[in-house]
Structure 1
Amino acid sequence: MKDSNPNKARPKTYTTDLANDEMTSHLSQKTNKLKLAGASIAAVGVMTFAAQQAQAISALSVLNTFSPNGGVGVTKDILYGEEPLQDLDIYYPKPLAQAMQSQNSIDKGIINDSYPMIVFVHGGSWESGNKEQYAFVGQSLAQAGYITAVINYRKAPEHVYPDYVKDTAQAIAWSYNNASDLHADPKRFAVIGHSAGAFNAVAAVSDEDFLAPYNVSPNDISAVIGIAGPYSYDFRQYSGGTAFADDATPDDVMPDRHIKGKQPPYLLLTAENDKVVHDRNTIKMTQALKDYGATVETGEIKGASHATSIAAMSSPLRWLNDVRAQVLNYLNKSL
């Protein structure tokens, strides 16, 4: 593991919110409403990129109200930088969360095991969304045994490319450099992004210049998973173009044209019924990575829309599609 950033922020307190029977009962009472919410998400129509993302985020926020947290722990609002929105939340698997409740256990070094770690980057057309709205992803991955950082990053239009990619790289590097302090193994470290967050994740890792300031290289990352990411398109034709400088071109910013450094393996997933991000983005990114010599797997999430390609990570909506199974299968063999 490389030396930590001397200016790194460290988590100071831990809070654990354990699931209970009351929550389970409450969730059961809401089953029918949740199915309607899932159907509503799946029915998102053809609109502009930004408008679709806003609708998806509104629907996804509801999931956190009803998702049982499965006994996972969470540390909130850890700073990885000094600018607004440069913070993250860490979700811990249940056994670790329970052990961390006892300060004596920590003091005596009883927690000897280290866990694989994931950094998750949310979508939202680079203009909206936040880590709180995607708590269900952190909970879902922690339930599966992964310490998970769900990050914030600065948004457009105040911050255009490459600010949000730089933030993503800084959050990845902070998590990697602090992994041992978080009871995680930096040698089993993955990055996952959805939609605009997939762009951020893939861009931040595939071009070594983004991680280099923090003494981290792409090859330090064990795996990258992009879900429905817009890696190769002409943003000037869409409302999401506000996330890029007025004089920017696709050649200036698209990650399929800026691959540099020894690469980790990738899994790039598309949603079968995605009307927001077309599969040609994944096709072009896959080809660019393979041409560079990287290992890439691809997959399709059957029956998924752009929104449900991430919503189905939550406990109430796992019946919608198999995105969670595909993600976990890849993580299990990669980490």
Structure 2
Amino acid sequence: MAFLRLLWQIPVAFFAVGLLSIFIHEYATARPSERTKDIPYVKADAPDFDAERHVLDVYAPKQKAARSFPVVVFIHGGNWDGGSKDLYSFIGRRLAKQGVVAVIINYRLSPAVLVPGMADDCVRAVRWITQHIAEFGGDPNRIFVMGHSAGGGLAALLATDDSLFQKFGLAPNPVKGAILDDPAGLNMFDYLRKMEYPNDEQYLVPFGKDSTVWRAMSAHYQVTSASPPMLIYTGSRTYPSIAASTEKFHQRLQELGVKHDFTVLSGKKHVGMVTQLYWQNNLIYRELRKFVGAKS
């Protein structure tokens, strides 16, 4: 009986050690950064102000530097109807540790708004960043957007559609580049016309039934030869629709001569494409540092 009790205690001990290791790792990662939470990027007296969704978190390096840090704005995924910045603090911490001011944003979701309203929210967040990020050591002239899944589609849209910023009084487009992590929605015009996959009708909720909106919210049709450089990653085992649209987007960038790198990560599924960002030295972070000019 005593031996059985000892066997039972072994996995518990391993579990406790694992938890302790994660805690130590997170403490070591968090220590070089400073987080400022829930900053409103829309004025509270705005008629559409949402106290939960119109907020962002800033993760700034504690280290001093002679030059301002590059800024990476991370836009979360979640099928356009879910997700929260609070799930991605690990990305903010890891970017800050590597010499980047990271901004993780919330935006309004479906069915409260359609995707054009989400894109507007992301633009309003970037506008706030251009005005205030210097207070956190960030360089307003070196702003990059990054996103996973639906957030990747929104990030691509911000990088390619200058009219989104012109509507809010920002010209030229302040986005200097984009990092797209298994992006969804790059070509919803084509996707929603074909309806090839089960339950595709669900996307008529966030995108509506107007095909001109589908096209306007698809970065595939907004990109031009003047669009900024991009890093694009997709998983070899991601959803077929994402694999196909990302490959076509890559081809479109090639046709227009837009500087970009396109990488398919072997064995990665859609969720794994973002969870890998828990590890600081993965490929995406290594290439991102060079891309934005960070000195970690």
Please indicate the TM-score interval, normalised by the length of the shorter structure.
0.7 to 0.9
**Partners in 2 of 1:328 and 1:313 — Cα distance?**
13
The aligned runs of 1:56-95 (5 Å cut-off) are 67-68=26-27, 69-71=29-31, 72-82=33-43, 83-84=49-50, 85-95=53-63
Aligned residue among 86, 89, 94 for 1:132: 86
Task: Check if 1:246 corresponds to 2:209.
Answer: yes
Question: Which position in structure 1 is the counterpart of 2:96?
Answer: 142
1:299–1:165: structure 2 CA closer, same or farther, 3 Å change rule? same
Aligned residue among 119, 138, 145 for 1:191: 145
User: Deviation digits for residues 46-102 of structure 1, max 9, x if unmatched?
Assistant: xxxxxxxxxxxxxxxxxx998443311100111111421111000011325xxxxxx
The one of the two structures with greater contact order (alpha-carbon pairs below 8 A, sep at least 6) is: 1
| TM-aligned CA deviation for residue 157 of structure 1 | 1.1
Letter in 1 for 2:275: A
Aligned residue among 195, 200, 220 for 1:256: 220
Question: Which position in structure 2 is the counterpart of 1:272?
Answer: 236
TM-score (norm 1): 0.69
**Partners in 2 of 1:251 and 1:292 — Cα distance?**
18
| TM-aligned CA deviation for residue 225 of structure 1 | 0.8
Question: Number of residues paired by the alignment?
Answer: 263
Unaligned runs of 5+ in 1: 1-25, 35-63, 97-110
Contact 1:271 1:303 in 2 (8 A): yes
| TM-aligned CA deviation for residue 262 of structure 1 | 3.2
Which is greater in Rg?
A: 2
Question: Which position in structure 2 is the counterpart of 1:288?
Answer: 252
User: Deviation digits for residues 282-328 of structure 1, max 9, x if unmatched?
Assistant: 1222233343442222112232211111111114xx68x63333433
Question: Which position in structure 2 is the counterpart of 1:9?
Answer: none
Contact 2:70 2:292 in 1 (8 A): no
Task: Check if 1:215 corresponds to 2:170.
Answer: yes
**Partners in 1 of 2:271 and 2:240 — Cα distance?**
9
Identical aligned pairs, as a percentage?
24
**Partners in 2 of 1:66 and 1:333 — Cα distance?**
22
| TM-aligned CA deviation for residue 214 of structure 1 | 3.3
Contact 1:312 1:324 in 2 (8 A): no
Contact 2:225 2:257 in 1 (8 A): no
User: Deviation digits for residues 107-135 of structure 1, max 9, x if unmatched?
Assistant: xxxx7541111111110011101111111
1:261–1:163: structure 2 CA closer, same or farther, 3 Å change rule? farther
Letter in 1 for 2:169: Y
Contact 2:159 2:177 in 1 (8 A): no
User: Deviation digits for residues 143-164 of structure 1, max 9, x if unmatched?
Assistant: 1110110000000011112011
**Partners in 1 of 2:225 and 2:128 — Cα distance?**
20
Mean Cα deviation higher: 119-128 or 280-289: 280-289
Aligned residue among 122, 129, 150 for 2:76: 122
Contact 1:208 1:260 in 2 (8 A): no
Mean Cα deviation higher: 297-306 or 83-92: 297-306
Give the 3-state SS of the residue equivalent to 1:127 in structure 2.
Answer: coil
**Partners in 2 of 1:296 and 1:302 — Cα distance?**
19
| TM-aligned CA deviation for residue 173 of structure 1 | 2.2
Task: Check if 1:299 corresponds to 2:259.
Answer: no
**Partners in 2 of 1:253 and 1:95 — Cα distance?**
39
Letter in 2 for 1:253: M
Question: Which position in structure 2 is the counterpart of 1:328?
Answer: 289
Give the 3-state SS of the residue equivalent to 2:63 in structure 1.
Answer: helix
**What's the C-alpha RMSD, in Å, of the aligned pairs?**
3.1
Mean Cα deviation higher: 289-298 or 115-124: 289-298
Letter in 2 for 1:275: Y
1:160–1:70: structure 2 CA closer, same or farther, 3 Å change rule? same
